[in-house]
Amino acid sequence: MKTAIIGGGPAGLYFAILMKKQKPDADITVYERNRADETFGFGVVFSDATLDNFEKYDLPSYQRIVSEFAYWDDIAIHFKGNEHRIGGNGFCGCSRRTLLLILQDRAAELGVKLRYDVDVDDESLFADADLVVVADGINSRFRERYAEHFQPEVDLRPNKFAWMGSTKPLDAFTFIFQETEWGPFIAHAYQYEANRSTWVFETDPDTFERAGLAWMSEEESAALMERIFGWFLNGHRILTNRSIWRNFPMIRSKRWVLGNKVLLGDAKASAHFSIGSGTKLAMEDAIALYEAFRREPSVDGALSLYETGRREEVEKTQHAADVSLVWFEHVARFWDFDPVQFAFGVMTRAKAITYDSLRLRAPEFVDAVDRTFAAQVQRQGFDVSTGRPTVPMFQPFRLRDMVLPNRVVMSPMDMYSAKDGVPGDWHLVHYGSRATGGAGLIFTEMTCVSPEARITLGCTGLWNDEQEAAWKRIVDFVHANSAGKICLQLGHAGRKGATKLMWDGMDRPLEDGEWDIFSASPIPYFPDSRVPREVGREDMDRIKAQFVDATERGERAGFDMLELHCAHGYLLASFLSPLTNRRTDEYGGSLENRLRFPLEIFDAMRAAWPSHKPMSVRISATDWAEGGIGSDDAVEIARVFSEHGVDLVDVSTGQTVREARPIYGRMFQTPFSDQIRNEARVSTMCVGNITTADQVNTILAAGRADLVALGRPHLVDPFFTMKAAAWYGVKDIHSPPQYLPGKDQIFRNSVREKQDLEELKIKAKPKTRAELKMESGGKSLAAE
């Protein structure tokens, strides 16, 4: 097979090496437009896991690579005069030029033909090739030439960055967050060889402009960085090598294959430098393509196998990079944080590292995180220990006069099991068991304010005395048998009303027995759904009165808290979103106008609800659709509701329109809570694919929410919170006397189970190369 590889970077060279090893007779040529020793940048970074891969696939190049690497275990975070070091990370750095020379030598040794200083725009050079590997980098000419087929999406991120270097030696992967007269600057720095380190400088576009960097030469901008970070550089110089300030392009390609051409490395997809995965991703692409040819010798078959088999891993890495880069783009949001909490946020920003995993590798640091969190709670008037604090999820929280014993919330989840709006025995068991299971706050499902406000015939309501009595029975049980509080969520289905039960066809219209439905504008949810009637002034007054009546009934039933549902495309959400509100009166158009009716409802409810009891509002922080509500809109919505007396914003997303395209993942809605909390300065509750106590602690400790709601975990485990308390040794959690023997047993067992699991994890974790090198007295690890 004749193979042409366009691009002599790590991806193209490594694929050439692996294929030539497998098929020594193969005709493989690498075409590179630059000279052999010409490259930009300074160092590259790999994790120990990536080096393990290199060792497995080509031992000779691995041995040379590790002999040249600088190793470190620690991540050092500098913020406001504080340094926090977290060990056990296992990173390695190497000169990019050295890496390329190693791979060039290995490829030449195997018989790969290397052609440098070649204009590869001329496709006649490889017209007779059976396989063309396009590895010509992030600015790929061939990807753009065939853009109509590959369909690349380029998201040019707002922050400015520049790759530079220094003679400053470093013993850790170093983050420096520096305040200046113009705004914040960030340095991402690591050593890659003796007396040489890579420095990536980053700042937001406004700070970039104020600092005058747009008009500076390479040398002038390097001099400015020397001045800003001079306190750390200690006289060492900043070096340049085509160190141009630019915006990072996040690249995704819908297709990777065109005939016998295949995209590899940055040509097909990029990942932000903040997680150090660019070169790793490229070389692991090469491994994946090589493995595809091992399994499927035909070009068509192998390329298809590569694209389908590799895409998921690439997209996972890109998602982690996306989450990380967004954190750095909005670092000003966290600038007022305590340095310990700030450092914890840096470590957990991409979700790969969590509270529990960080405790295993850096227990002293996590102890400091717990003390910092407890001190914040203490300043809010609670008598909690800061010497031996409990974990964040079991710290108390206050909203007006309501005090929660912990920060675990059972999320509102529709049961679709009521009869004529009356909650029955199912609801008593459902809510009662979760309350006795230890959750600090229980939310009801969306409870409808009138018969025509229901989503389905199975929805609960609160518009008559029978429903009020049934809810009082549930509230009384919760209060009598738990330390938790219970919140009533009130809502109106709007255009999503008169639909089937979830298990019969979610959001699908009823075939008979339907009722009148309303919305901000007469737009059906599905094309074949009933067209809702546009709400008029008379309707608004009637609906407002219904919400007030339900509020008063909720107070008589004894609820501790009240929430107004303004999310998920229901009636009030339909006013907020421009996708569902096309009105031309004072309730349509601007965000201020679209907020008008939801605020009228909220103000009326707040006036009817006791002033000492808190109220929250649930919003969709994004519609996940073009032209809809975005996160900046959500911040403004939260801010305005807060001015009207909202104590907590319940942050959800989507479900507004059918064409929405959510980006799912672990804790996928938490970034919206994070932004609203730290920009609107309002307490938030996050929800959305949060499944473990570890995740709860991670979110809270990083300052991304004040309460954490879990839905599906509570469906299958009513005692989620009790089990978490046992795991973390929080013995003062309330338990009904009937269950005390079980509580005692799970607490005894958890001590041993946790110890055994942590010991197993520690034993199973291989030593980092930095640790091995230290044990070997600094000798090379190439032979290991």
Active-site residues, by number, are 570
Residues recorded for the chain: 784
CB 446 within 8 A of CB 454: no
* HSE-up (13 A, CA, CB side) for residue 483: 19
| CA distance to 38, 215, 447, per residue, from 121 (Å) | 19, 33, 64
CB atoms inside a 10 Å sphere around CB 139: 11
Rounded Cα gap, residues 446 and 448, in angstroms: 6
Taking CA 504 as the corner, what is the angle to CA 498 and CA 508, rounded to the nearest 5 degrees? Answer: 40
What does the alpha-carbon distance between residue 304 and residue 728 come to, in Å, rounded to a whole number? 47
From CA 174, how far away is CA 144, in angstroms rounded? 36
What phi, psi does 709 have (nearest 5°)? -100, 135
Cα–Cα distances in angstroms (integers) from residue 627 to residues 324, 421, 577, 578, 593, in the given order: 25, 36, 9, 7, 17
Beta strands in 680-759 (DSSP E): 684-686, 707-710
Tokens 């946790």, residue located: 754
Which residues, at least 6 apart from 589, have a Cβ–Cβ distance to it below 8 Å? 583
Residue 79 to residue 342: CA distance in whole angstroms: 8
Q: Please give the helix or strand (H or E) that residue 28 lies within, else none.
A: strand 27-32
What is the distance of C-alpha 147 from the center of its chain?
29
Q: What is the 3-state secondary structure (H, E, C) of 196-213?
A: EEEEEEEECHHHHHHCCH
Gyration radius from the chain CA atoms: 29
CA distances from 184 to 181, 204, 250, 334 (A): 8, 8, 23, 11
b/e map 567-581, b = 16+ CB within 10 Å: bbbbbbbbbbbbbbb
Report the DSSP beta bridge partners of residue 447: 490
